[in-house]
Each structure stands twice: as C-alpha cells, then as structure tokens.
Structure 1
C-alpha cells in the first residue's frame, strides 16, 4: 500500500486529494494546525490527522519519517516554505506543489490580481510568461503571484521530482470562500431575478478540487519535475454557472443580461472578465490524466454541501460570515431593486 502525506490537508484541495487517494487504497495522512478542522468523512475513510504547523520544520520532518511515496503541499506560498518543501521532498517518491494561474501575465504584464484585467491571446499554456519572483506579503494582491513564482523556481531548481500544479477558480467541498455562494444565497433569498454583468459572458476557468485530486494521483505514478495547468474540461461562463446552480436547485428566475454601460455595481460575479481566462490542460492529458467530470458534474457536491449548511444555519466553518467583505458587493439587493423598478 502506497502512502501519502498532504500538508494543509483539511482545506478544499487537500481534503479532495485525501478522499481520492483513500478511495484508491492509499494510506493517507493529512497535516494541519487544528484537529477540529479534520472532516469526518476523511476519518471514516481511514485518513489520519497529524497536528503540525506548516512552519514547524522539525515536526514535519518527524512526520515524514523514513519517507513517503507521495508528498503534497497545499500551503506553499513563499520561497521560505518552498525551501522547507524541498528538504522534505528529498524523501518522497513524488511531490506536488500547489501553485496558481495567478502567476501568468499577459503581453502588457497584467495578471489575475492586477488593477487592469489581463487579456490573453487564447488558452494559456505552461510556457506563457509569468510574474517576476519577489518576496513581499504573499497575502496581498500584489504579492500572491510573485511569491508563488519564487516557490515554483526553488522547487524546480532542486532537481527533485516535484510537479507544480496551476489551478484556476477552485471549487469543491471545504472551500472557505465558496464562490458559488453568490448564486446559492440568492436562490435561498428567493430572488426571482438574476442580473449578470457583461451579459454573463465572463469566463474565468473553473477547477474542481476533485479534478486536481485525479491529476495528483496521475503524477504520483509518474514522478517528474514539471509544471501542469489543471482546470475543468469545460470553461463555463458566468451565465452557464448561474444556470447550472439554478438547475441543480430546481430554481427558475428571470435573467437580466446587462451591457457595459449599466451601473457597475450590478450583476457582478466572481467569474466576470472582459476577456476569457482559459487554461490549456493538454500537457496534463498527455501525461495520462483524465478529469473526473465537467463543471456541472463536479460542482454538484459543493452545492449540496452549502445547501445543507444553510438549512442547519451552520456558519461555524462552512458558510461565509455574514459580514465577509468578499461577498458583500454581490448582494446589493437594494440597488438591484431600484434598477429593476426603473426598467421593468
């Protein structure tokens, strides 16, 4: 039986990987700071929890022991954490570092977190230019991508079989800020109309955590130093996503597709983009990876998870906080109603 250690294993990506590997008869351990965050379904599946802070190198070294077949780092954000990953990776048959599509820049140097939206010429492949590595606050918009680039470079320079995965707009059970909540809450609030900016045409490629897990197993069996994009086999628009969620919840609403001249407070979603942001995943496919499903198939479990939490009024670790600033501007019903009163 092969064994795996997942750092940051209780988050949306880590828990999907752990569940996938456990179902494939791997012996899996997940490391995290708080045992209370360990999903019950992982314990039931036989996954072990190890209390270990990502910054505690000695504890992680003791955890990895004589080595593992697979090491996955879901919380490697900086050069410092990459150096510690490399030390651990020396005792792993295959290692995976979770990065992000936020590292990519367009011809003008714009990226996912810049003030000006990027404009890519087409699907982005792994050879596309990236931000320059830098050591500034990785929690900031300006610092997230440059720190990820620094982590990637250190990992690749090690010469070890470390696969770097670059997902986009991850969805799945366990997300701390589930973007799909933008439509789910609207349905629960019995809104009969959905407004969509840019006529709902915005596309920012989605990635199911379950599809990430499938690729992780693929690279575990074919160790190597590489960079791989990972995204869903389809690239739904904001309109597609709104319809997928409404259909899953058997909800009907009127669609109001707004043009660019409309109030920019109206119809915003996490998938808005003036230009499509789509990842080319052909390199992963050439390696033997096969997705577990498209967006509609893979997002269903997350929708049900959030709906169950809403019915139970569970805001402990599932539903976004009522005052979460990320979601506040998505639910400006007062401005919406004023607009609809004028045009309807």
Structure 2
C-alpha cells in the first residue's frame, strides 16, 4: 500500500514496486491513477487524516506500507497501532531534521548567523532537532522517533529526503531558471558566488530507495539524495542546455541583495548528505543523474505555466518563497552597480 500515491514521489514509487512484482494499492485523497501504472494497481481514496479509513484500507493486513505524506507523532502512532497488520514500512522524512554542533538547523536559518554549518557530507549519525510539532523539521523528527521506538513491532525505514525534484512537484525549485528563460531574461544573479549546494533528490532516486527498502525490511534511517550535489550555477547551466538558451550569470560575493541573487538553492553553507549507508544497507546504486532528469522536469513546468500566472500555477511556491521574479529589483541593482 502506498499512501500519497498520486504525488510526485508516490507515482514513481507505485510504478517501481509494481514492476518488482508487488500487488500495489495506490491510496490518495482523490483516488486517481497515473497513466504509467500497470493495470493491476488498485487505486483507492484515502484521507491521511482519517484514522478509521486508513485502518479500513489496510484491512486484514499488508506486507508493506509506503507512506510518503506522513508527518508528526500522530501519523507515526497510527501506523504503529496497525503493527500487527503491517509487515514493514518505508516512510519519507527529510534532511531538515539535522542540526549542527551549535544547535542551528533549518528553523534558525532566518536568524543572524543562524544557518547551520554541517559536516560535508552529513552522515545519518549527525544530531537532529528535538521532536515536536511546532515546525516541519520538529514534526519530521517526532515522526522518526515514534517509528524507530516501535522497531521491534513495525520495522520502518525512514528516508531523509533532500530537495526533491521531478514532475508533479508543487514547489519545483527549477521554476526559478525555467521561468526566467521563458521570459527572455538572459541575465540572472546568484548569491554566494553561485557555489551554493543544497543536495537534490530525484523522484526516481526515491523510488529506487523505496523499492530496495521494501525488499529489505529493517528499523533504520537513511539519507535519500542523488549521487551528485551540483552548485546552483551548475543547475542553471544545465537547465539552459535543456532549453537551448545562453545566459549571462552575475555572481554576488556574499548574501543576496534583498531579492537579488536569492534562489531556492541559495544557502551560505553546503547541505550535502552522505549516501554510503544506503549503498551498504540496501545495495543502492545511482539510477539517474541530475541533468538526465531535467528534460521531464522542465517540460512539466513549461506545460503547467502555459498561459497562466506563475502564482496561479504554483501557489505553494509563492507562499514558501515569495516573489522569485522581481525583475525590477534586479535591473535597479544592476544599474546601480554599472
């Protein structure tokens, strides 16, 4: 059973599990199907917040539950309450649970000197934020704690995902470059010298990790990122190559100047994760390179933007990042530097 089956992670996960021979029930709020799924996949409606409905879909039991939308202590406890009917679980968490040696994490990044300075790469043994319910990071930490504590009853692999990319994403970071190219903006600005690295993970990488963990039940946490962690400048150049455009990149030495140079990847210190545990415990090997995934990602964004205001096409992006396309501010900054 895959919970959140019609989301960006769920779609390829269902496909990968079905290809491996699993009988898959694809559960989602709308109960829809993806056109790439085999006919044998069973699609059902499920509200993740409805505990009784979840228990009903699990029914007398299933060998595996993959939960890509679980968050917080309550969701974890609902899964563990069904431990007698679930063989094992694979649950998506986030690299945002990590904090550095000074107690800084994703929740402190807006504070002065608040961005975490992690080891490169970050191992799964790195300390994490205290579990709670106040933020996304603390909620994911609470999810992890509850599931790991119940490992003797319900083996659960927790996948700490990086910056997810691929089709069907509600907040595609690639939008930053795609829309600029579509708008004919041939000059862009990148803070921190364009060297920011925020480890991405393809939906195909996640599907592969889910597939492998399904076949090797255990109670564990694993980083879930691509093999590469390109810089923001490298990402922009790769998107340009897919779209067939040439651009000029203006590099800012330090932090963004207001909105100028600020991208969804712009961080003052690298966030790069160690994938050796997944290789060791699951036999994971990279299945795709970042640049290889871009044509489908860029194509998806272009189709969704066609004839629409970007804030209408991606309202969650607007909510999370604000105005990523303040061209007037960019031009004014450039004029002031000329």
Fold conserved between structures, TM > 0.5:
yes
Q: Distance in 2 between matches of 1:31 and 1:306?
A: 25
Distance 1:222 1:26, change over 3 A: same
Distance 1:81 1:261, change over 3 A: closer
Counterparts of 1:98-247 in structure 2, within 5 Å, are 98-114=92-108, 115=110, 116-136=114-134, 143-158=135-150, 159=152, 160-247=154-241
**1:70-114 Cα distance to aligned partner (Å, 9 max, x none):** 211112111111000112343233311111111100011111232
Q: Distance in 2 between matches of 1:145 and 1:343?
A: 39
Q: How many residues align?
A: 331
Distance 1:189 1:95, change over 3 A: same
Q: Is the 8 A contact 2:15 2:38 kept in 1?
A: no
Distance 1:304 1:45, change over 3 A: farther
Q: Distance in 2 between matches of 1:262 and 1:53?
A: 40
What stretches of structure 1 of length at least 5 have no aligned partner?
137-142
Q: Is the 8 A contact 1:176 1:320 kept in 2?
A: yes
Normalized against structure 1, the TM-score is what? 0.90
Structure 1 residues 100-109 or 324-333, which shifts more? 324-333
Give 2:247's aligned residue. 253
Alignment partner of 1:122: what SS?
coil
1:58: Cα distance to partner?
A: 1.9
Alignment partner of 2:162: what SS?
coil
What stretches of structure 2 of length at least 5 have no aligned partner?
none
Q: Distance in 2 between matches of 1:80 and 1:185?
A: 38
Give 1:339's aligned residue. 333
Q: Distance in 1 between matches of 2:39 and 2:336?
A: 55
1:298: Cα distance to partner?
A: 2.5
Q: Distance in 2 between matches of 1:107 and 1:329?
A: 33
**1:126-177 Cα distance to aligned partner (Å, 9 max, x none):** 11101111233xxxxxx21112111111111112211011011111111111
Distance 1:65 1:314, change over 3 A: farther
Distance 1:7 1:40, change over 3 A: closer
Q: Distance in 2 between matches of 1:112 and 1:153?
A: 18
1:16: Cα distance to partner?
A: 2.1
Give 1:140's aligned residue. none
